[in-house]
């Protein structure tokens, strides 16, 4: 009997247990406390920004980021069509309208050339563009050297969706440091986890203060409960922040483990025609999820066939994100497309990538893939 191997399970151990127990014994079990204060400082230091505020999820972070910039009804926000739905949903939460743009087929990140054309067209049409939200896809940063000057010239703020990218770098600079404000996620399947949770980081103290205020029900600083606007119950708890602090201390070892696993995949698929790793060769990627893209005509097999084979051996895989322009909930949403996201969705497969995978589990995954490939050699 074998146990199931998951795509990216939480990687927790004795250190996390000690931090959480200490937080519980301290009596700080409310949504504020010294662990949360420390976690915010440590994350800000890690990504090189001045300020941070912990919230209940990466989605909440994206929502607050847009609100802090004044994004709302009557505005549009440009979002890559290849992303998890939270990116586009946050635009709707703010009352704005998403406009979808296709991606670079090599990395899955926003197509910056297409973005430049789109921004020009939207501005000529008189649209109020509240923000551009690039996503650092699967832990590989967007092309900020090209993207930031375009947005800066147009006077449009960048909200960096770095939910998947803690620990990644771009040209030596940490992910989550490129946007006017950026969102991180600590969901259970991310590089580090607080079970659920997220964080906003920025060099703009005013934006972070605004997010902190909105995340605490917009409570005014008076002894009684006073509210002059609608806020949200979005703060991260002190106990979960303790878990995050323990995870952060293990970040480098967890990054190394995921990179080690990607190297195995790279060697396994290197000699095969029609197969490539998404964003292969980026030394700054945190390798959160390793994805392969398969050309069926060259390879002689499809990505979903490999996924089915692994599934029969109790090994979890996942197709690429279904593009937002294909999602029924965003039917009719304005989109600028090249077909790249559709091709990645049709031909992509995410492979087990978690840092908690044991040597035995890794070998089992590699052997099972090799068993599948043997039929095509």
Task: Please write the tens of the pLDDT for every residue from 264-290.
Answer: 999 999 989 999 999 998 999 999 999
Say yes or no: 283 and 355 in one domain. Answer: yes
Task: Please write the tens of the pLDDT for every residue from 164-196.
Answer: 999 999 999 999 999 999 999 999 999 999 999
Name the pLDDT band for 375 (thresholds 50, 70, 90).
Answer: confident
On whether residue 165 sits in a domain, the answer given is yes
Structure tokens at 372: 């599948």
335: β partners? 100
Say yes or no: 178 and 261 in one domain. Answer: no
pLDDT attached to residue 135: 98
**Taking 90 as the threshold, does the pLDDT of residue 81 lie above it?**
yes
Say yes or no: 239 and 295 in one domain. Answer: no
Radius of gyration of the chain (CA): 21
Task: Please write the tens of the pLDDT for every residue from 22-51.
Answer: 999 999 997 789 999 999 999 999 999 999
Say yes or no: 260 and 228 in one domain. Answer: no
Task: Please write the tens of the pLDDT for every residue from 54-80.
Answer: 999 999 999 999 999 999 999 999 999
* Bridging pattern class, strands 173-174 and 169-170: antiparallel
On whether residue 8 sits in a domain, the answer given is no
Say yes or no: 226 and 279 in one domain. Answer: no
The continuous run of DSSP H or E covering 41 comes out as helix 34-47
Say yes or no: 221 and 287 in one domain. Answer: no
**Structural domain for 344, as ranges:** 250-374
Give the CATH number, domain containing residue 264. 3.90.1150.10
Say yes or no: 286 and 228 in one domain. Answer: no
Say yes or no: 353 and 228 in one domain. Answer: no
Say yes or no: 239 and 328 in one domain. Answer: no
On whether residue 311 sits in a domain, the answer given is yes
Mean per-residue pLDDT of the chain: 96
Choose the final residue of a domain: 248, 278, 311: 248
Name the pLDDT band for 1 (thresholds 50, 70, 90).
Answer: very low
Say yes or no: 197 and 78 in one domain. Answer: yes
Task: Please write the tens of the pLDDT for every residue from 109-163.
Answer: 999 999 999 999 999 999 999 999 999 999 999 999 999 999 999 999 999 999 9
Instruction: Give the whole-number percent of the chain exceeding pLDDT 90.
Output: 97
CA distance 99 to 121: 12
For the chain, what is the domain count?
2
Say yes or no: 37 and 156 in one domain. Answer: yes
Strand ranges (DSSP E) for 118-245? 128-132, 159-161, 169-170, 173-174, 181-185, 198-202
- In terms of phi and psi (left: phi > 0; alpha: psi -120 to 50; beta: otherwise), the region of 155 is left
Active-site pick, 63, 180, 190, 325: 190
Structure tokens at 281: 């060769």
**Higher-pLDDT residue of 81, 1:** 81
Within a 10 A sphere around the Cβ of 309, how many other Cβ atoms? 18
Query: How many whole angstroms from its chain centre is CA 174?
Result: 14
On whether residue 6 sits in a domain, the answer given is no
What does each C-alpha distance from 299 to 154, 274, 294, 351 come to in angstroms? 43, 5, 7, 17
On whether residue 196 sits in a domain, the answer given is yes
Residue 322 annotated as catalytic = no
CA distance 221 to 72: 25
* Bridging pattern class, strands 159-161 and 128-132: unpaired
* Bridging pattern class, strands 181-185 and 275-277: unpaired
Do the beta carbons of residue 330 and residue 98 sit within 8 Å?
yes
Q: Which backbone phi and psi does 292 adopt, to 5 degrees?
A: -105, 150
Give the CATH number, domain containing residue 203. 3.40.640.10
Instruction: Give the whole-number percent of the chain exceeding pLDDT 70.
Output: 99
Choose the final residue of a domain: 197, 232, 248: 248
CA distance 373 to 365: 12
Choose the final residue of a domain: 248, 268, 289: 248
Do the beta carbons of residue 215 and residue 241 sit within 8 Å?
no
pLDDT attached to residue 2: 60
On whether residue 270 sits in a domain, the answer given is yes
On whether residue 198 sits in a domain, the answer given is yes
On whether residue 120 sits in a domain, the answer given is yes
Say yes or no: 186 and 290 in one domain. Answer: no
Strand ranges (DSSP E) for the chain? 51-55, 75-80, 97-101, 128-132, 159-161, 169-170, 173-174, 181-185, 198-202, 275-277, 290-294, 318-319, 335-336, 348-351
């Amino acid at each position: 009997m074998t146990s199931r191997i998951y795509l990216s399970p939480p990687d927790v151990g004795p250190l996390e247990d000690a931090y959480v127990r200490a937080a519980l014994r301290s009596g700080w079990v409310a949504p504020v406390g010294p662990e949360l204060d420390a976690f915010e400082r440590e994350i800000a230091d890690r990504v090189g920004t001045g300020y941070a505020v912990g919230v209940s999820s990466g989605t909440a972070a994206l929502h607050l980021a847009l609100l802090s910039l004044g994004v709302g009804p009557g505005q549009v926000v440009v979002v890559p069509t290849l992303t998890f739905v939270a990116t586009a949903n946050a635009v709707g939460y703010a009352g704005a309208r998403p406009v979808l743009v296709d991606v670079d087929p090599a990395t899955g990140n926003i197509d910056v050339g297409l973005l430049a054309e789109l921004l020009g067209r939207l501005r000529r049409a008189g649209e109020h563009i509240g923000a551009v939200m690039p996503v650092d896809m699967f832990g590989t940063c967007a092309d900020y050297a090209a993207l930031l000057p375009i947005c800066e010239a147009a006077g449009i703020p960048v909200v960096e969706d770095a939910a998947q990218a803690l620990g990644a770098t771009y040209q030596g600079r940490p992910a989550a440091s490129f946007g006017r404000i950026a969102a991180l996620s600590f969901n259970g399947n991310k590089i580090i986890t607080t079970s659920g949770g997220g964080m906003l980081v920025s060099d703009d103290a005013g934006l972070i203060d605004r997010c902190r205020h909105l995340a605490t029900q917009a409570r005014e600083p008076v002894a009684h409960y006073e509210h002059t606007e609608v806020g949200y119950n979005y703060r991260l708890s002190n106990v979960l922040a303790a878990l995050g602090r323990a995870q952060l201390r293990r970040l480098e070892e967890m990054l190394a483990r995921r990179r080690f696993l990607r190297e195995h995949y790279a060697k396994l698929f290197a000699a095969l025609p029609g197969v490539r790793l998404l964003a292969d060769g980026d030394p700054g990627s945190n390798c959160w999820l390793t994805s392969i893209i398969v050309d069926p005509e060259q390879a002689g097999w499809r990505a979903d066939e490999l996924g089915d084979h692994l599934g029969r051996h109790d090994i979890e895989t996942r197709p690429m994100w279904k593009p937002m322009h294909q999602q029924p909930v965003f039917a009719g949403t304005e989109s600028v497309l090249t077909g790249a996201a559709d091709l990645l969705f049709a031909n992509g497969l995410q492979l087990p990538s978690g840092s908690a995978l044991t040597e035995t589990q890794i070998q089992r995954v590699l052997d099972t893939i090799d068993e599948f490939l043997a039929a095509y050699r």
